[in-house]
Amino acid sequence: MSDLIVRDLVVERNGRLVLDLCNAEFAAAQRIVLWGPSGAGKSTLLNAIAGLISPRSGTIQIGQRLFFSREKRIDVPPHQRNVGFVFQDLALWPHLTAIDHVCLVGRAVGINRREAQELIESVGLHGFEKRRPGELSGGEQQRLAIARALAQKPSVLLLDEPFSSVDGRNKESLYKLVREMSPLVAGPTIYVTHHADDAMALAESVMTLDRGKLARAVRPWESRVE
């Protein structure tokens, strides 16, 4: 089990200061909702954790392993960070079948085809393993994106508002899936949202991001940030 620690993180995008000396500890084996208004920098923080953008300064650390330190000139490439990421647009590969998504990502950690099949079944896609994303419903695509993120046995799982376009019934089943799957992750599961339903269904704790700063909070959606 490993906590994710962010220290004095500063990120600029297109000349604008987005994250300003952010400090937080995201507890291992816990579902943490990252809450805040649109444009607050929630997705930017996830991208920095995943290594998709480089901060101007600060550190990002999982357990004893440094992902990023400007001072120590450490910036671990995304494919070496072992971070599972479910993107808002899912970013599935249209030419690959469901099981090939899982096999491709899981290859680095030694997942074989039988284990990939078991993971596909565990997210509720039994019988859909040979289908491509275009042959799956919206909810099924969400499940595939989660399976792909879990295939690398990630130390951190990041979800960037992936359920924003899903209807109510499917959304409830996806909430249940995230609650069931997050204990498989050694570190934290961080879910970005500004929707109260998502937060209430998934949060074991909440961090708010506003004006570039992170802070622990209790039920911030009651202030009607939406």
Rounded mean pLDDT for each run of 10 residues along the chain, 226 residues in total? 90 89 92 88 94 95 93 93 91 95 90 94 94 93 94 93 79 91 92 89 91 84 60
Q: Output the pLDDT for position 40.
A: 85
Place of tokens 């991208």: 47
What is the C-alpha separation between 209 and 221, in angstroms, rounded? 12
**CA nearest to 22, candidates 33, 30, 34, 11:** 11
Q: Output the pLDDT for position 21.
A: 92
What residue numbers bound the domain in which 8 lies?
A: 1-80+188-226
Contact 62, 187 (CB under 8 A): yes
Domains contained in the chain, number:
1
In a domain, 143, yes or no: no
In a domain, 194, yes or no: yes
The residue type of 56 is: R
In a domain, 13, yes or no: yes
User: Chain centroid to CA 60: how far?
Assistant: 15
pTM of the complete model:
0.91
In a domain, 159, yes or no: no
Q: Output the pLDDT for position 23.
A: 92
In a domain, 182, yes or no: no
Q: Output the pLDDT for position 68.
A: 96
Distance between the two ends of the chain, CA-based, in angstroms? 33
What is the C-alpha separation between 216 and 107, in angstroms, rounded? 37
Q: What is the CATH number of the domain that holds 210?
A: 3.40.50.300
In a domain, 35, yes or no: yes
The residue type of 199 is: A
